[in-house]
A and B are shown apart, each in its own frame.
Chain A
């Protein structure tokens, strides 16, 4: 297989792999961490196809399905949309359903988490890496149609231009369509993506089958996050063993992270799997910390009491031992003088507002959960709030058509478990943060204006 690897291109090592050629990534590399884009990343120009090829070399042709699967298994690439499912397994599931119907490829770049910006950074800076991955997998699956699902308008325009550039050069017979995501928290959920591609509403659908066997118009559908396809493009070029170099436990390669909150340099970072939280937060310019929201709104908290709490890598084995997961690659940073319970309650209020309104237990239960949690956050009536939560959570958990209500409950459980001392203080009408403001650090104001006092008196 070595003859397939371009000899003129060096395999990238260190934290600039996906971000090779991105304007901001040129000058901000430190050890295992590279700052690669501002939150409102406005690249000078997108990386053209010619620049892309000079950065990475051509995608190898002639790789068989068996070779790709073997390489992927060695790499242990996992999906980058949140669930972290092994990509080789997903591909095998699609293959096993593809004997009767031609499969469809979907790259999900809807990035419906308001504080995530890594997908938009990737799509605006280097759409060709994503297209490489899509084309490669379409080739081995004999797929005729692929879709890239994007919320950000500029990223969608950039992707459309990149698709035209490849088509004009006759690079691919695959039909790749950009589909606009309307936004909204549940619009990126995989059955919602499938419905939107079918020209329906971007709302979750209940199904007893997985999209891998029955997705777009019932066809077997390989659906993964856009970043996953970009990694595939690198693994195909440089090999599974290259990807594993410097890997930590089962994880390897690099990942894009959005680091936000009370730090000096919020933005998108590319980090290797050996990067520790200490290194990442040093680059991001963090001060004295209360805790980190790891994985995003459906993730969980890491309480920070000593610097040793941050001396961990972000591999799944380490994070799982702390009941955490990197999810969609988000680190939300809370400084010492911010109340994590108030913060979580604001997020829960937002998530309750984002129910698709389809399932009774979700649209009835989440507002009740949010009200109960607001009482706890405001130290107004903590015991009543806890009693209400205990009664309503069993009526909601596991009863939605998608994971939305369970994600909300997971965030509340993590808050109550990690910040139990804080909740004890709230019980006696206090808060470790004097005059805790009710502004949300991890919930952008332009996305949602929280009103905890209003809902706590409901």
Chain B
């Protein structure tokens, strides 16, 4: 599973970075930097919350 952020939708609210600090940090303009995107099973619940709580619907989980 892969974590995907649509940069064209993202407005930098930062919800995803709070929920998934191991994957995401915020840059100086307050936009998320995805340091790695391979989602561990143990983080799936947090990732699902990031998907549902992102106000811009910019976060998704890609099953590959």
Please give the residue numbers on chain A whose beta carbons come within 8 Å of chain B beta carbons, in ascending order: 203-206, 208, 356, 358-362, 364-365, 395, 399-401
Contact = CB atoms under 8 A, between A and B. Distances in A.
A359 B5 CA distance: 11
B8 A205 contact: yes
23 contacts: A203-B8, A205-B8, A206-B6, A206-B7, A208-B62, A356-B8, A358-B7, A358-B8, A359-B10, A359-B31, A360-B10, A360-B11, A360-B29, A361-B7, A361-B27, A362-B7, A395-B28, A395-B29, A399-B7, A399-B33, A400-B7, A401-B7, A401-B8
B20 interface: no
Contacts of A358: 7-8
3 closest Cβ pairs, A-B complex: A360-B31, A359-B7, A401-B8
A359 B62 contact: no
B62 to A, nearest CB: 6
A190 to B, nearest CB: 14
Nearest to A204: B8
Contacts of A364: 29, 31
Query: Which of B7, B9, B28 has the most chain A CB atoms closer than 10 A to its own CB?
Result: B7
Contact of A206 (B8, B27, B62): B8
B3 to A, nearest CB: 12
Contacts of A395: 27-29, 33
A361 B29 contact: yes
A114 B6 CA distance: 29
Main secondary structure of the interface of B (DSSP, over half): loop
A236 to B, nearest CB: 38
Interface of B: 4, 6-12, 27-31, 33, 62
A116 B4 CA distance: 35
Contacts of A360: 7, 10-12, 27, 29-31
A360 B32 CA distance: 9
Contacts of B31: 359-361, 364, 399
Nearest to B27: A395
Contacts of A401: 6-8
Nearest to A363: B29
B47 to A, nearest CB: 16
A202 to B, nearest CB: 13
Contacts of B11: 360
Nearest to B31: A360
Contacts of B7: 206, 358-362, 399-401
Nearest to A359: B7
